[in-house]
Amino acid sequence: MKQSVNQLLNFFKNHKYGKPSLILLIIGLVAVGTMSIRSMMQEEPIALSNVAAAISAGRVVRIEELQGSDTLIIHYKDGTEDTTRRDQSTSFLEQMQFLGVSKSQMAKLEYEVVQSKMAASDKIISTVISIAMLGMMGFAVTRMGGGIIGRKKFVEGAIPNLSFNDVAGMDENREELVDIVAFLKNNQLYERIGARMPHGVLLAGDPGTGKTLLAKAIAGEAGVPFFSTSGSEFVEMFVGMGASRVRSLFKKARAKAPCIIFIDEIDAVGRKRHGGGGGGGEMEQDQTLNQLLVEMDGFAATDGVVVLAATNRVDVLDPALIRAGRFDRHVTISRPDVKGRVSILEVHVKDRKLAADVNLMDIAKSTPGLVGADLANIVNEAAIIAVRGGNEVISVLDFQEAVEKSLIGGVQQKSRIISESERRTIAYHEAGHAVVMHATPHSDPVYKITIIPRGQSGGFTMALPEQDSILMFRNQIMARIIGLMGGRVAEEIFCHDITSGASNDLQVATQLAEDMVMRLGMSISGLRVFQRHEVGGSQAGQKTFEALDKAINEILDEGYQEAKRIVTEKRDAVERVTQALLAQETLSREEFVALM
């Protein structure tokens, strides 16, 4: 209770809207309290029959009727008062006569209609409460609309303290953006020969490849202000608010020129416009995009404003946004190769203590396909593991554990109790994978085998490519499918039964086979490429679906039969690897090759 009270007091004290909220709350409490006290102080009205008896007895001298009310105030000769209520459908005189009061007795009384003091104060209180309620509703609406009053939807940051030296693994992309820096530093150099710098640069790439970092490095290298925002900040439920924010952002940027405007996840606001109208949300998105298009057309090359935008969904952007004259230059940021990964690791280990046995090239080779964000996380995880183990430096074992945690998921569950039969089955399963991969041409080399559970897997066999490649050959894909089938085949041959352990293997193999048939044209079904929504729909008939299904099954069956042949021929090798795994749980590449 005390903690809740302290949190409430801190909100009223520190929050931007704390004081207005406190004032409205106090006004409401005072109004409610006043009305409650007045209702408690009001006397209980007496019956009309008692009033009639008092008039007949000559004890009443004056009666006041409150205007617009059924309440009467009775004044007695002794100076006391009472209140009563009457039926407003008939006059007070008729009601008294019905109760036995004569006209002569009524004529002796003073009868007056007066204005109620309480009614006037009630109106004031009602007005105050109404104003307070309107204020609270307005506050709620502005908060629901994103806080448009006094809230900037962009970060007007200082010059970033980053430079191109802090960006690694994208040397070619960096060279492509060097002229942007030169333009921001001295645009007169370009004016002399009539060159115009791009209005906008679109950075496209997978998540985590460093698009935001690169944009900040450009601003830091050029030494200009950096306006950062997100595409979702312009999306509102009220039509016109997003467009207003776009105008405000560009107006502020022009005042600070030369500068950079960075819009992250621009696909949130730059999606293709809706045809044929639509609801309020669609109208708002279209108006916001239209305003962005107008603003990007509205400044000249000499204004010193460059718009950078980042997205991983170029396919959904409106063609009018990405055309020449707006986003003139498109920079694709690819996943780093092994050389780029080494450079990225060097940046992230700069301020960390490493053991002498750490080789960054080996770590880079063990992380194919990972991006800068993944590598930064691996370095951080390795440091955490080192601290957890009580070490002063980060060793190669810490990096290995961090890499496996990133690629496989989860931590090693060495204390997990597994029955001997399950442990033996897992060992045969992983040995089947390893032996089949080793014996299949075009397959990636086996890097590590373990039967220690990690995450949701009972064990794993890690195979890593010797070098990065841009193309994937059919033989390589088939080799991977054959390797994935090795675990199920080993279970069938050595355990005389099959388990659920191959579920993920079969899922990945099926996905690869579907890609070969439907997306890559690598099957007997032909060269036609199908989108997933076409299969089973109106654009693909039943015969086409059956042909695709048959081609996929043939690929899977071919992989399974080849894996079965290898395991049968190398039965002794599978047995040796299995016994080694049961004895020491984990095999390195060198230990595995020695057993083969």
Tell me which residues are annotated as active site: 430
Rounded to whole angstroms, the maximal C-alpha distance in the chain is 130
Closest Cα to residue 200, out of 96, 48, 303, 344? 303
**Sheet hosting strand 200-205, strand order edge to edge:** 155-157, 226-230, 259-264, 305-311, 200-205, 327-333
What does the DSSP 8-state code read for residue 6? Answer: H
The Cβ-side half-sphere exposure at 251, using a 13 Å CA radius, reads 8
The span from the CA of 285 to the CA of 202, in Å, is 20
User: Bridge-partner residues for 111, per DSSP?
Assistant: 63
Radius of gyration for the alpha carbons in the chain, expressed in angstroms and rounded: 40
DSSP assignment letter at 167: -
Q: Is 468 within 8 Å of 368 (Cβ atoms)?
A: yes
List the one residue out of 386, 495, 507, 383 whose CA is nearest residue 457: 507
- Residue 275 DSSP class: T
Three-state secondary structure call for residue 450? strand
CB 268, CB 230: distance < 8 Å: yes
- Rounded to whole angstroms, how far apart are CA atoms 596 and 593? 5
Contact 320, 286 (CB under 8 A): no
- The set of residues, in sequence order, having a beta carbon less than 8 Å from that of 562 and lying 6+ positions away, is 440, 482, 485
Tokens representing 168 are 């690694």
Count of CB atoms situated within 10 Å of the CB of 85: 13
Angle of helix 420-439 relative to helix 474-494, nearest 10 degrees, comes to: 150
Q: Measured on CA atoms in the order 320, 323, 325, 331, is the torsion positive or negative?
A: positive
DSSP state of 541: -
Q: Provide the terminal-to-terminal Cα distance of the chain, rounded to the nearest Å.
A: 68
Phi/psi at 273 (5° precision): -70, 150
- Amino acid at site 53: A
313 Cβ partners below 8 Å, 6+ apart? Answer: 267
Whole-number Å distance between alpha carbons of 88 and 71: 10
Strand ranges in 43-193 using DSSP code E only, listed in sequence order:
60-66, 71-76, 81-85, 110-114, 155-157
Residues 6+ positions from 7 with CB-CB distance below 8 Å: none
Q: How far apart are CA 387 and CA 398, in angstroms?
A: 10
